[in-house]
Amino acid sequence: MEILIVALVLVAVLWLVAVWLGAQAKRQVDVDVDLPPERVAEIVRDHFGSITWRPVNGRGIINYQSRGPGVGSAVLKNPTISVDLSALVSGGTRAEIWMSSWQTKGGVIGSADRVFLKKRSLANKLAAL
């Protein structure tokens, strides 16, 4: 009986973590960079330049869909990260990074862990420029 309770608690904790990751993945991140939009676009494309993300059509100027395993990815379509770039009056660029398409089941977004980590690493990379 104790093993069953431990298993149920573990499942509940994992579900809560997955729901939290989904909420974080849905949040838009804006980063201002002191570079022209063309250069920022190159940096963004280079950041996604691996076999685990593929370019797709989407709602942003730049759109990439995750490939491969992630939380819930076995039964849900992989999400898309979109990036819009706009020139600032100061001469820099604002990068708006968000998850533009996804599927959910039981409150869990498929591959939300991958989106959360990729958005965070891209925002950190751009903020460091």
User: Where do the structural domains in the chain lie, given as residue ranges?
Assistant: 2-127
Q: How far apart are CA 80 and CA 63, in angstroms?
A: 7
What pTM does this model have?
A: 0.88
Do residues 108 and 18 touch, judged by C-beta distance below 8 A?
yes
CATH fit for domain 2-127, picks 3.30.310, 3.30.870, 1.10.3210, 1.10.860:
3.30.310
Helices (H), 49-111: none
pLDDT band with cut points at 50, 70 and 90 for residue 90: confident
**For residue range 28-69, what is the model confidence (pLDDT) as tens digits?**
999 999 999 999 999 999 999 888 999 999 999 999 999 877
